[in-house]
């Protein structure tokens, strides 16, 4: 059995889109959850443009089996996305500490990772006589337009089938079809499901547009399968407190804060097949700005996205090579 017989090009996951990268992390996590013996590994097709992730498994299977396994693992993980009755991530400090303690006592690694990716009890501020935790910088919703991040993080991975078509003519699309579209085809973004605003295509700035981007007739829709996978992929990005300017502030794996408080996130582009644990190690590696270190690790470059504000809403930019 050759390696080529166990490799699958993920044409839907482009290298310059934060949502696509998080969906890649979520895919690996889901496959490991349902069947660790598959030993999923991934590399980027650096020498076979357009560059995309290349998934390698320990045994020969097919796209249908991969998508079915991803769906099964994703649904298991989604069951742990229980944040009720909480909505405001800034008020999650005590609940997060309790959930982390419970997860540690039961050996539930995923739940521990998930809550450790949201807040830290050491990075807090006093505001209006209330102790508020600083949320993960990937949280872009704090009630604007009645949109709450925790609502989305709980609901999106659990909604198996997309809302596709129109109210008058809805389309029936299965869970596996939706995931297959996200992984193996160019994104058409046909879904009306809520998202996390991690896809740069959801930026609704008016510049250089001939139409109103907030008009329901032209408004950009979402790729629901990618958002479901990205929701569980977020658990890889642990947050930690770090003292800056005399105050404890929140840092995240792969993230960087500017002197003005701006946030950017970078991920590597690597040549060799590696596991999710190895990707996590690369995200936290301190030497990736050094060309010699990159070469030794098989990293060919990095992609960086910036968090931006658009009025009362926030988005992430398309990632640039660095």
Q: Where are the alpha helices (DSSP H) in the chain?
A: 18-34, 63-78, 93-106, 109-116, 149-155, 175-184, 224-233, 276-283, 291-297
* Residue from 267, 261, 264 nearest 281 by CA: 267
Give the pLDDT score at 2.
56
Give the pLDDT score at 196.
97
As beta bridge partners, residue 252 has 239
User: Whole-model pTM?
Assistant: 0.93
A 10 A CB-CB count for 311 gives 8
Spell out the per-residue pLDDT of the chain, length 322, in tens.
456 669 999 999 999 999 999 999 999 999 999 999 999 999 999 999 999 999 999 999 999 999 999 999 999 999 999 998 988 898 888 899 999 999 999 999 999 999 999 999 888 888 777 888 999 999 999 887 778 999 999 999 999 999 998 888 889 999 999 999 999 999 999 999 999 999 999 986 655 555 555 554 445 699 999 999 999 999 999 999 988 877 888 999 999 998 888 999 999 999 999 999 999 999 999 999 999 999 999 999 999 999 999 878 899 999 999 8
Give the pLDDT score at 217.
47
- Which phi and psi angles does 230 have, rounded to 5°? -65, -30
φ/ψ region of 224 (left if φ > 0, alpha if ψ in -120 to 50, else beta) reads alpha
Distance separating alpha carbons of residues 113 and 125, to the nearest angstrom: 23
Give the pLDDT score at 311.
78
């Amino acid at each position: 059995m050759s390696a080529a017989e166990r490799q699958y090009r993920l044409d839907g996951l482009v290298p310059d889109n934060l949502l696509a990268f998080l969906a890649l992390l979520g895919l690996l996590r889901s496959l490991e959850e349902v069947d660790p013996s598959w030993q999923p590994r991934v590399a980027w097709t650096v020498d076979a443009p357009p560059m995309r992730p290349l998934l390698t498994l320990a045994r020969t299977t097919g796209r249908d089996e991969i998508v079915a396994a991803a769906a099964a693992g994703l649904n298991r993980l989604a069951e742990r996305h229980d944040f009720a009755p909480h909505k405001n991530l800034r008020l999650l400090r005590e609940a997060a500490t309790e959930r982390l303690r419970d997860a540690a006592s039961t050996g539930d690694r995923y739940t521990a990772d998930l809550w450790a990716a949201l807040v830290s009890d050491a990075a807090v501020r006093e505001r209006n006589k209330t102790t508020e935790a600083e949320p993960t910088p990937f949280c872009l919703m704090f009630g604007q337009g009645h949109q709450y991040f925790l609502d989305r993080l709980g609901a999106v991975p659990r909604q198996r089938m997309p809302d596709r078509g129109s109210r008058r003519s809805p389309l029936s699309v299965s869970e596996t079809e939706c995931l297959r579209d996200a992984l193996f085809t160019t994104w058409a973004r046909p879904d009306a499901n809520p998202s996390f605003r991690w896809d740069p295509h959801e930026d609704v700035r008016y510049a250089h547009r001939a139409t109103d981007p907030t008009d329901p007739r032209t408004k950009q829709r979402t790729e629901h399968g990618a958002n479901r996978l990205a929701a569980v992929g977020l658990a890889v990005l642990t947050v930690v407190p770090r003292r800056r300017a005399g105050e404890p502030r929140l840092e995240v794996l792969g993230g960087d804060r500017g002197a003005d408080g701006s946030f950017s996130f970078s991920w590597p582009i690597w040549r060799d097949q590696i596991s999710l644990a190895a990707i996590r190690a690369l995200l936290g590696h301190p030497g990736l700005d050094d060309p010699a270190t990159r070469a030794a690790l098989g990293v060919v470059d990095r992609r960086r996205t910036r968090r931006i504000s658009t009025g009362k809403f926030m988005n992430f930019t398309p990632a640039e090579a660095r």
